[in-house]
Chains A and B, each alone.
Chain A
Amino acid sequence: MKVVLRNGRILDPSQNLDVVGSVVIENDQITEVGEKVREEDADVVYDCTNLWITPGLVDLHVHLREPGFSHKETIITGTQAAAAGGFTTICCMPNTNPPLDNPALIDFILDRSASPEAGGIFVAPIGALTRGMDGEHPADLAALKRAGIVAASDDGFPIQSSQVLRRCMEICHQLDLPVATHCEDKTLTEGGSMNEGAVSAVLGLKGIPRSAEEIHVARNCMLSLDTGCPLHILHVSSWGSVEIIRQAKALGAPVTCEVCPHHLVLTDEQMVPFDTNWKMNPPLRTQLDIEILLQALTGGDIDCISTDHAPHAKYEKDVPFEEAPFGIVGLESAVGLILTFVTHKGYLSPLEMIRKMSTRPAEIFRLDAGTLKPSRTPVAQVAVIDPEVEWVFDVNKTFSKGKNSPLHGMRLKGKTLLTFSGNEVYRDALWDESRLQMGYPVGRK
């Protein structure tokens, strides 16, 4: 089977490639990339004129909820949602029930994600940093690494004891395993449900102060410097955190960090009062935070973009704001949101956008992804994006089980139209079928 993606704008940061050309996929592998390729004998040709052809996107921060919370999401629905967003490799967080703290559970994730019903993309599990994510006893990290985890984290249940985290980082450093941390001093956030600021003062909701995040960012950076363990800081939301990370990098700490699309776009002032679809952790901050996060993304202090896709069942969110769980879905809106509010506004060039959403995250957790170089990934991982198409995000039409998003109804410009993981795993309804020539491959619509 030979597939040609013809005449698109090829954006591949791994090769600093930004040219109009074609990509050839033969027997599930990329074989040629460039302005001139051999199109003869192609079984299928996708005309990608005015579209982007990019490495499949990579998300370091996804909650697939299985095992234990399959009413919120399953590995099957989560990977389908990821494929629809243009993601070909996602890292799933370990805060399941039971938490991903033993090799059998890692096997389960890998098996299930490879099943025919799943989205056809790669799932790279993140193991629990402590046993049962109890924040006290390091998990059996060597066994977890042998089973296939790509990083370790207690995301959602940040380790409060500096001593415990230091021990964990020492172990991970020895195992050459990155540690990813959700930064939150729980003594400052207890009972908090939104950003501590002028809006929380009006609504009478207990706030989550920036300092709760920044204190742990600073502490964790210092422990990374101390132990030499690569540290990835999850979902940075505060301008103070950015400044601390910048300083830590300058000191030589092996630190990377990510930002979520919603933290680059939405503020607490925009939230619909008491609408639980706006409840997330870290919470939406202010316009000042957004401006500094965008500058840091442009300047490189923020390494990558992750979604923190956090689905919940509707009934779990249909409760008073303070009682609702944190989190919003993000896999299927990320490309549209980043294109509309970041790339089209000039904060990132198209090539830099793809670097932040594909190549760089793959580098951070050392994943075989994020490139269009022939035979560099287990199978071809490619996304085709229309940067100009205008559409309205309808959460009810998403693959994810979670319908919890504050973006529902938002007009966006730019969308993933095709996703390839070996073969075609997603074709969007907005894809113009007249662009297909010489046959019609089977794919999910």
Chain B
Amino acid sequence: MHLLSIRELSTEQIQEILALAKELKQIALSGGSLPDLSGRVVGMLFFENSTRTRVSFEQAARKLRMDVTSFGIMGSSMAKGETLKDTVLTLKHEGIDSLVMRHHASGAPYLAARFFEGPVINAGDGMHEHPTQALADALTIIESKGTIQGLNVAIVGDVQHSRVARSNLWLLSKLNANVRLVGPLTLMPRHTGMLPASVHYDLMTGIKDADVVMALRLQKERMNSGLISSLGEYASLYQINERSLKAAKPDCIVMHPGPINRGLELDDRTADGKHSVITQQVENGIFVRMAVFVTVFREKSSVEKTTKVRRLHSETQKEEQAPAMGKKSS
């Protein structure tokens, strides 16, 4: 099994991963015995800089006693012109069991999955998806609110370029939340008809009665391409702060996938304030990634087991047939 997107997961699969993550967290915090995936080698293939996601995956792998190999792209064969396909094929034959991959192109992990035998886990691809971030967010919401069903969740900011938004909106809607996308027209996809969410261009309308307010990171370079007129104007219209949060429910939680542009998407007091669950998101990231490793390898193990059983079965049949054929010929 690969984990390439939330959109392609069933609600049951999502719930299973979340339940497993919750269980693993309890075991870890109580000092219990965690699943042992020793002997498995996971390759960290990051084509974009990402300290927090990479470290989170590494931590998750180590807690499960997996071996971790990281590939720096600078100075690698890829920097020398090797294709992604060839890199993946090489890693496959070098004994890597699973790939955690981040890539600047949407859908790149799909290509890797075509050529890599073991599980490929998408750690963020272009503007497409960031499934494990959404799973971490979901676990955090459940811990705070008890459930996701029926919650009003506002995802605020640069939706167009956000893989976090594109994973979260599917996950949250599959678990029956009311998802709202909030942001300026220039940072919103132009055609949102297939996205399971309502669209709001006004912040106060968008976060009205919200149980969860999820701010997205704004890439400052967007300003240079004319998508926003100025950082100050963006902050004045879309910043999550004490004033704007008055529109949301009093017990709402504030989330951010990090790293935060303090004073832009969130003001300082909100980032560190009573509504913020940002550090919890980071912590939960490790447990959902552990759950994902266990899930994908469990699937792989069951496939291996089935293959083994089939092989044994066919060998037994051969053995049974051989003497019979011998009898016939005699």
User: Chain A residues in contact with chain B, CB under 8 A?
Assistant: 196-207, 209, 273-274, 315, 318-323
Complex contact A321–B193 (CB within 8 A): no
B190 CB–A CB distance under 8 Å = yes
**B122-136 toward A: CB 8 Å interface, digit per residue (1/0)?**
000111110000000
A429 to B108, CA, bound (A): 39
B163 CB–A CB distance under 8 Å = yes
Closest to B193 in A: A198
Closest to B115 in A: A318
Closest to B189 in A: A201
Q: In residues 99-114 of chain B, which contact A (Cβ within 8 Å)?
A: 103, 105-108, 110-111
B194 CB–A CB distance under 8 Å = yes
Whole-angstrom distance between the Cβ of A173 and the nearest chain B Cβ? 38
Complex contact A320–B105 (CB within 8 A): yes
A128 to B133, CA, bound (A): 50
User: Chain B residues in contact with chain A, CB under 8 A?
Assistant: 7, 83-85, 103, 105-108, 110-111, 125-129, 163, 166, 189-195
Question: Known: A203-B106, A204-B129, A315-B83. Contact between A320 and B194, CB under 8 A?
Answer: no
Closest to A318 in B: B85
A198 to B83, CA, bound (A): 30
CB-defined contacts of B85 to chain A, threshold 8 Å? 315, 318-319
Question: Known: A319-B83, A319-B85. Contact between A203 and B111, CB under 8 A?
Answer: no
List 17 A-B pairs, Cβ < 8 Å. Answer: A196-B190, A202-B166, A202-B194, A204-B125, A204-B126, A206-B127, A273-B110, A274-B107, A274-B110, A315-B85, A318-B83, A319-B111, A320-B103, A320-B105, A321-B106, A322-B105, A322-B107
Q: Is the interface of B mostly helix, strand, loop or mixed?
A: loop
CB-defined contacts of A320 to chain B, threshold 8 Å? 84, 103, 105-108, 111
CB-defined contacts of A318 to chain B, threshold 8 Å? 83, 85, 111
A206 to B128, CA, bound (A): 10
Whole-angstrom distance between the Cβ of B206 and the nearest chain A Cβ? 18
Question: Known: A207-B190, A315-B83, A319-B85. Contact between A202 and B7, CB under 8 A?
Answer: yes
- Partner among B103, B125, B191 whose Cβ is within 8 Å of the Cβ of A200: B191
Complex contact B194–A201 (CB within 8 A): yes
CB-defined contacts of A196 to chain B, threshold 8 Å? 190-191
A196 to B192, CA, bound (A): 11
Complex contact A201–B83 (CB within 8 A): no
CB-defined contacts of A205 to chain B, threshold 8 Å? 106-107, 126-128
Complex contact B111–A197 (CB within 8 A): no
Question: Known: A273-B107, A319-B83, A321-B107. Contact between A204 and B191, CB under 8 A?
Answer: no
A203 to B107, CA, bound (A): 8
Complex contact A322–B126 (CB within 8 A): yes
A201 to B196, CA, bound (A): 11
- Partner among A198, A204, A206, A274 whose Cβ is within 8 Å of the Cβ of B111: A274
Complex contact A321–B105 (CB within 8 A): yes
Whole-angstrom distance between the Cβ of B117 and the nearest chain A Cβ? 16
CB-defined contacts of B83 to chain A, threshold 8 Å? 315, 318-319
CB-defined contacts of B105 to chain A, threshold 8 Å? 320-323
Closest to B108 in A: A320
Whole-angstrom distance between the Cβ of A266 and the nearest chain B Cβ? 17
CB-defined contacts of A322 to chain B, threshold 8 Å? 105-107, 126
CB-defined contacts of B195 to chain A, threshold 8 Å? 198, 201-202
